[in-house]
Structure 1
Amino acid sequence: MNEQILLAERPKGMPTKDTFKYEKIEMPTAKEGEVLVQTLYLSVDPYMRGRMNDTKSYVPPFELNAPLAGGIVARVMESKSDRFKEGDIVTGMLPWKRYSAAEAKNLQKVDPELAPITTAIGVLGMPGLTAYFGLLEIGQPKEGETVVVSGAAGAVGSVVGQIAKIKGARVVGIAGSEDKIAYLKDELGFDEVINYKKGNVKEALKEACPNGVDVYFENVGGEISDAVVSLLNKFARIPLCGQISLYNLEKQDVGPRVQTPLLINSALMKGFIVADYADKFPEGIKQLGEWVQQGKIKYSENVVEGFENVPEAFLGLFEGANLGKQLVKVAE
């Protein structure tokens, strides 16, 4: 038998385990042009929380009583396409199922010799590409500038900081535990890291950024964002990637308006999603792969074992449980 995870309810505020429902289903069969795949690793990502709401966004909402979907690394069990053969490792946006029948044209082959297969949904996949294009296309850090990254210990933020260092910038991260701070400073080479759970974030940022902020890579929103924006320099750039602190709020977030500091400083804030740069993905994957092989970019993965623990892994994202990319290992 196969198994899938459905969206059982649209959560109000923080999702719970009741938001998800497991269902046993029959094994799928591959049609012409399709492949039958077994899920090996499954990605859980903060943006999925927005898709649980029935509201307009940059991607359609998940349907009630239908399987959720996301980035998956899988093994081809049977192929009815000349694109893949049995045993190939592939990645794509697939439903949360142990086994799926997928159109071959929607999958990409993963080379296990290039890097561990999990990197296809991590540093060499959507999170890495989000960091790469958001920082370099919008942030455009220059040597000697100050780059601030919120959510710095996450899958995106940790790569942002390392690319900024490669470009010669001074990097200040914001994270939520002493373990994360030690990792970012000692392992990844961040210049300063602020624990937002301790003390006054605004005062800590002033001390860490004596020359102001030239680039702010925004992953979090809320009061942290307010504190950083107050320190913007002339012509500062803000790639707006995520707002994880707001995703589970039941009421509209209200805070200081950003228009005045943006206007005063001739600053740019631009929202983006990684798909905006889809035509440049090969370039991004190639460069990220080279940096990983050269040791210029390091990565961390937090792997939760077992398909039955997918909801737990997802909920952990909003509790700061993950260091780096949050994954679920479904099969060997």
Structure 2
Amino acid sequence: MQEERAALAAFTALTDLMGNETDVLALIRQAAAVLAEAHDMDVTYSEREGEVFRIRVWPPDFPADLLAEAQAGYRPSDPGFEEAQRTRQSVFLEEIKGHPNWRPGAAVYEAVAFQPFFQGETMTGMLIMAARRQTHWSERERAVFRAVGRSLNLALERAEGVRQLARSNAELQVAVGELQAFAYSVSHDLRTLVRRIKGFNALLRNRLTDTSDLKTEHYLSVIDDAATRMNILIDAMLDLSRTTRQPLRLEEVDLAALVTSAQLELTSEDEEQNVEWRVQALPIVNGDRHLLRQVMVNLLGNALKYSRLRPHPIVEIWTEERPDEWVILVRDNGVGFDPRYASRLFGVFQRLHHE
């Protein structure tokens, strides 16, 4: 009874560990300890290295000659390995002592069980439980070995997923850094070209001061305006690059105060535009103050821009509460857009109007 309680405690500890541990060998050592505690067996784990499986985990009293053989590597065609790989299931071999196909070091064992582990179609590891005194496996022993194998397999898959995610994140950080460097390099080169365009355009305008050719003046203005817009686009590209790399700084944000601040900034830029603001009561939300303000400035700026030709521009702002979020809505009586292109509305540098 005491042995049963100890085995149950060990299995519970293994279950807890599997929910949090991502170190593969730590998981396997704990699984080996559970099996050894429950059955008084030698439990080992071998991992694939090329065309052989080399031992990675073994008990303190593991036979030296068998350890040397296991470190040299098991072959996929060795007893137990071949059947486990073919069936992808636990394999239980009994009365093996004296069998001609077994390696000399295995002569101390009477029965051996194998639990394979796979990644896709490739067998990557093998958990082995070996008995020195008993020649057969009871149904209870088989059930426990299979249960531990299934649990360990799930834990190994989760750990591999975590490792792959960590690798992907590391690669992403490298790619983001390279993209950032590229953006700064390109922006510097573009700014140089834009400055030269504006500079030579100004020189050309000075040389043509005596002319009354309105078409020439129009062409020069188009060049200057295009260069100015190019500078704005470069600034936007750099701002976007910086913003996407900054961590969110969450805090309580008063939306009413934030909208008022955005209104003041935008109306001071165009004091002649007589806008009717319809702002409903706005809540305090949890978010990044700087980013939320940028969003509001962009949304309200677009509303003003595309309603400026109306005799009586109207901009409405309100919120709707959802189970886990607040939705902020902005509506204006401007020119609107074709609903067919709604999916492009928030795409980076996308335009639904030619201006």
Band of TM-score, shorter chain: under 0.3
Which of structures 1 and 2 has the larger relative contact order (alpha carbons within 8 angstroms, sep 6+)?
1
In terms of Rg, which structure is larger?
A: 2
Larger helix share, 1 or 2: 2
Structure 1 length as normaliser, TM-score? 0.21
Structure 2 length as normaliser, TM-score? 0.20
